[in-house]
Amino acid sequence: MPTVVNEYPFSQVDVFAPGPKAGNPVAVVHDADGLTTEQMQSFANWTNLSETTFLLKPSHPEADYKLRIFTPASELPFAGHPTLGSAHAWLEEGGQPFRNGELLQECEAGLVKIRRAGTELAFAAPPLIRSGAVEPEALAQAIASLGVDAGQVLGSNWVDNGPGWLGIRLESAEQVLELQPDFALMDQLCVGVIGSYAEGGPADFEVRAFVPGLSVPEDPVTGSLNAGLAQWLVGEGVVRGDYTVQQGTVLGRGGVVTVSVEDEDIWIGGTSRAVVSGRVSI
């Protein structure tokens, strides 16, 4: 039998990109309820972006839409920049949220709150599914793969909200920028590294995200990692209020992430812009 090909509305959105330097793109397929999991994964592999998402009708009565998120290799229960980029695409395609100024996304990780503030969107960091001290063997593997000495590590923690993040804190943004990871040694670990800028720097922190096991050696700008890092650093008192993150510098990107601490919520935000729109055949 011939293969059935259907057309779907399509967007490609640049996320965490406030200026002329690009942030992190996400491919978004709208009205994707008719696609199988296999078709979604195959298309995500073809786009070869860090994530491709599919907007579907929600099953939860309070959600505005349901989102499925795929890397080139596998599906994720949650990811940050796809959440913001997909919300932006859904709104531009005419989506009308149930609540004024706030969207509610349904995904495998549960319900995620998203709010609009001017040109920015921000999501409330979902609960961590794994936190606390990193086992010595995993920590030693992560440190060795980063090529740093154990004495340079100021702290470590599991900060996993879906992708499997292991967080490492170094003293300075310069140390983060100088990293040259050994991805073969890193293997299946998903490692996020953060270091602070001196006063007057381009941001408060520099972050890098390494995910070789998901076919994304280095992710340009990462919402889920920044959410987990914020929950860890705020929880330990390393940071006590709002801050900014620069990410993607080594890759030639200009990603800027805003972190806002409000009561019990930590909001991860940035600017999103649709750069491609049309229809795609799948």
For 246-264, what is each residue's pLDDT tens digit?
A: 999 999 999 999 999 998 8
Q: What is the mean pLDDT of the chain?
A: 95
The arithmetic mean of pLDDT across residues 167-185, rounded, is 98
Phi then psi for residue 106, to 5 deg, are -95, 130
CB 102 within 8 A of CB 88: no
Alpha carbon distance 67, 28 (integer Å):
10
**Is there a single domain that holds both residue 14 and residue 120?**
yes
Six-digit token string for 19:
């200026």
Q: Does residue 102 have an active-site annotation?
A: no
On whether residue 187 sits in a domain, the answer given is yes
**Is there a single domain that holds both residue 111 and residue 203?**
no
For 63-96, what is each residue's pLDDT tens digit?
A: 999 999 999 999 999 999 999 999 999 999 999 9
**Is there a single domain that holds both residue 112 and residue 169?**
no
Q: Tell whether the model's pLDDT for residue 1 goes beyond 60.
A: no
The arithmetic mean of pLDDT across residues 105-123, rounded, is 93
**Is there a single domain that holds both residue 135 and residue 251?**
yes
For 53-70, what is each residue's pLDDT tens digit?
A: 999 999 999 999 999 999
H-only helix segments in 93-235: 136-146, 173-177, 183-186, 223-235
**Is there a single domain that holds both residue 256 and residue 141?**
yes
pLDDT of residue 17: 92
**Is there a single domain that holds both residue 155 and residue 113?**
no
Nearest residue to 175 via CA among 156, 191, 195, 198? 195
Count the domains in the chain: 2
pLDDT higher for 255 or 20?
Answer: 255
pLDDT of residue 152: 97
**Is there a single domain that holds both residue 253 and residue 183?**
yes
On whether residue 197 sits in a domain, the answer given is yes
Q: 124 — alpha (psi -120 to 50), left (phi > 0) or beta?
A: beta
On whether residue 146 sits in a domain, the answer given is yes
**Is there a single domain that holds both residue 65 and residue 83?**
yes
For 178-229, what is each residue's pLDDT tens digit?
A: 999 999 999 999 999 999 999 999 999 999 999 999 888 999 999 999 999 9
Q: Which domain CATH number covers 106?
A: 3.10.310.10
Note the Cα 236 to chain centre separation in Å.
Answer: 22
Q: Tell whether the model's pLDDT for residue 19 goes beyond 80.
A: no
On whether residue 11 sits in a domain, the answer given is yes
On whether residue 1 sits in a domain, the answer given is no
On whether residue 186 sits in a domain, the answer given is yes
pLDDT of residue 12: 97
On whether residue 2 sits in a domain, the answer given is no
pLDDT band at 2 (very low <50, low <70, confident <90, very high): low
**The residue count for the chain:** 282
pLDDT of residue 263: 84
Instruction: Output the CA–CA distances (angstroms, integers) from residue 216 to 188, 213, 221, 222, 280, in the order listed.
Output: 11, 7, 12, 12, 24
**Is there a single domain that holds both residue 12 and residue 107?**
yes
Q: Tell whether the model's pLDDT for residue 128 goes beyond 80.
A: yes
Residue 183, domain extent: 130-263
On whether residue 111 sits in a domain, the answer given is yes
What pTM was computed for the model? 0.94
Alpha carbon distance 32, 10 (integer Å):
10
**Is there a single domain that holds both residue 121 and residue 136?**
no
**153 beta partners:** 170
Say which of 38, 51, 93, 171 is annotated catalytic.
Answer: 51
**106 beta partners:** 66, 111
The arithmetic mean of pLDDT across residues 117-143, rounded, is 95
**Is there a single domain that holds both residue 106 and residue 134?**
no
**Is there a single domain that holds both residue 120 and residue 146?**
no
pLDDT of residue 18: 84
CB 194 within 8 A of CB 167: yes
Q: Tell whether the model's pLDDT for residue 34 goes beyond 90.
A: yes
